[in-house]
Structure 1
């Protein structure tokens, strides 16, 4: 069995971060979202992985390499532009051959991994298995309709009037039957080959398409709010570890990780929180659910429920919350200017100005 990991796409909902960085490499708890997926695939006993890459191919390849650090063998498959999930299957046909495979969206996050799902698929081997979860607003997702016995009878992509609240999670398991389906469909109104249409093609031809409704945690980390929520979830499970230097004037409370090479000076850190290697936290407060990457400077500031990427500086700006701060960013106070009123008043005006 192989895996197909999708790591193309523009990541428009995470701009401006994704103007200069691949969305799959934005870190949660100081580890790229993509890495969690690759680790889940390796834990499921899959070693051969094809990675679909687009405009950020060089960055993805530099970060993942040949896959050996994950126990994987990586093959990169270029996609000229994002033309849909089914298009990714289409262009990966030669790589996938006649093997079963799991398709994993590289910006998705599933707590607990996929090992049990893969084992079940290997044992039963339906033509396709999809993962579903209940969401509050299914209009933003592919949506499944089930009959009274729980059988999938229909799929829609981002419907205006959803027939259920069950959204497709970004993990799919397929036999080679999917290849005929992706060749049979035509582009949607979005100009993309939709995987929901390909699976519907299988359903219409009475193929064995099964579903699993997952109860665990799943997030599509496509926007800032979801990134912060995933960061919170991962930090909930960290174990306290102080490998860096924390001076006597500082205090660390709860599940705090201070990586080797980091320094905490005259500061208070309340976990769960992570401070990356080479980072300096001085005269500051770091609150819960915050991850600070390597080689940052947090000075005379307060930071909570936020993600700070590497090589950034936050100096003297008071309190920051619920924020995603990119690489090589400088956040400092604005220069003070004299207070003044600029007026153009007509004849016979009356103006009251608070001193």
Structure 2
């Protein structure tokens, strides 16, 4: 079995962060979300991985390399534009050959990995196997309709009027039969080759499509709210570890990680929290569920339930919550007089300002 990992896409819901960075490389607990998927694939016993890349190909290649750091053999597959999940299968035809494969969306996060799913597929041998989860807003997802016996009878991509609340999770398993389905597809009303249409083609042709309703945790980390929630979940499992410098005037409470080269002075940190290598926390409060990446500075400030990316600095700010702060960003207080907000914002930014 091989794996096909999708790491293209524009990441529009994470702008302005993704104007300058691949959405799959935004870190969760100081590790790119893509890496969690690659580790899950490795742990399921799969070694050959094709990564579909687009405009951010150079960044993905630099981060993942040849895959050896993950115990994988990685091949990169260029996609000229985001043309749908089924199009990714189409351009990967030569790489996939006649092997079964798992298709994994690189910005998805699944607790517990995919080992059980892969074992079930190998045992039961359907032509396709999908993962489903109940969601409150199914119109934002591919949606499955099941019959009374629980068999998949219909699929629709982002329907205006969903027939169920069962959304497709971003992990699919296929036999080589899917290649014939993909070859028959025409672009949808969204102008893309939809993987839901390919699976529907298999169903209509009498092929067996199985589904698994997952009870564990899944998130599409395509927006800030979900990124922060996944960060919270991962931090729940960190073990306290202090390899950096913490002075006697500081207090660490609970599960706090201070990586080698980090410095904490005259500060209070309430875990779970990670302070990355080379970062400085001084005269500050860092509250639960905060990840501070490497080479950052938090000075005379308060921050909680947030993600701070590499090289960012926060200096003299009273309170920050529920925030995603980009690489090399600078956050400082506004001058007291005149009372006004001074902003430099990228395209599609969202700002909340207290009165």
Q: TM-score, normalised by structure 2?
A: 0.95
Partner of 1:295: 295
User: The residue matched to 2:5 in structure 1 has which SS?
Assistant: strand
Give 1:144's aligned residue: 144
The 2-side partners of 1:302 and 1:206 are apart by 59
Corresponding residue of 2:234: 234
User: In the alignment, which residue of structure 1 is the partner of 2:347?
Assistant: none
Q: What displacement does 1:123 show?
A: 1.4
What's the offset of the Cα at 1:195? 0.2
Q: How big is the shift at 1:82?
A: 0.3
Size of the aligned set, in residue pairs, is 340
- Residue 145 of structure 1 aligns to a residue in which SS? strand
Cα drift, residue 122 of structure 1? 1.1
Aligned match of 1:270: 270
Cα offset for 1:335? Answer: 2.4
Q: Distance in 1 between the 2:102 and 2:134 partners?
A: 21
Counterpart position of 2:64: 64
1:318 counterpart SS class: coil
Deviations 1:237-257 (A, max 9, x none): 111111111100000000111
Are 1:49 and 2:49 matched, yes or no?
A: yes
Query: What is the rounded CA distance, in whole Å, between the counterparts of 1:46 and 1:339 in structure 2?
Result: 58
How many Å separate the matches in 1 of 2:338 and 2:78? 56
CA distance in 2 between counterparts of 1:166 and 1:116 reads 20
Offset at residue 290 of structure 1 (A) = 0.3
3-state SS of the aligned residue for 1:119? helix
Deviations 1:45-95 (A, max 9, x none): 000000000000000000000000000000000000000000000000000
How do residues 1-355 of structure 1 correspond to structure 2 at under 5 angstroms? 1-338=1-338
Per the alignment, residue 345 of structure 1 pairs with: none
Distance of 2:69 and 2:11 partners within structure 1 = 26
Residue 212 of structure 1 aligns to a residue in which SS?
A: strand
Using the alignment, how far apart are the partners of 2:110 and 2:60 within structure 1?
20
Shift of 1:339: 6.5
Using the alignment, how far apart are the partners of 2:94 and 2:292 within structure 1? 41
Deviations 1:14-35 (A, max 9, x none): 0000000000000000000000
Structure 1 residues 338 and 227 mapped into 2: Cα distance closer, same or farther (>3 Å)? closer
CA drift of 1:218 comes to 0.1
- Secondary structure of the residue aligned to 1:189 is coil
Change (3 A) 1:318 1:129: same
Structure 1 regions of 5+ residues with no counterpart? 341-355
Superposition deviation, residue 124 in structure 1: 1.4
- Aligned-residue offset at 1:300: 0.4
1:334 is displaced (CA, Å) by: 1.5
Runs (4+) of structure 1 moved beyond 6 Å?
Answer: none
What SS does the corresponding residue of 2:301 show, helix, strand or coil?
strand
TM-superposed deviation, 1:119: 1.0
Q: By how many angstroms is 1:338 displaced?
A: 4.6
Distance 1:225 1:187 in 2: 31
Rounded Cα–Cα distance in structure 1 between residues aligned with 2:6 and 2:245: 39
C-alpha deviations, 1:178-204, integer Å up to 9, x for none? Answer: 000011111001100000000000000
1:352 corresponds to: none
SS in 1 for 2:164: coil
Task: Tell me how far 1:40 sits from its aligned partner.
Answer: 0.1
* Counterpart Cα distance in 2 of 1:101 and 1:251: 49
The Cα of 1:121 is off from its aligned counterpart by: 0.8
Alpha-carbon shift at residue 336 of structure 1 (Å): 3.2
Which structure 2 residue ranges, 5 or more long, are not aligned? 341-355
Larger Rg: 1
Q: Over residues 259-308 of structure 1, what are the superposed CA-to-partner deviations in whole Å (9 max), with x where a residue is unaligned?
A: 01100000000001100000000000000000000000000000000000
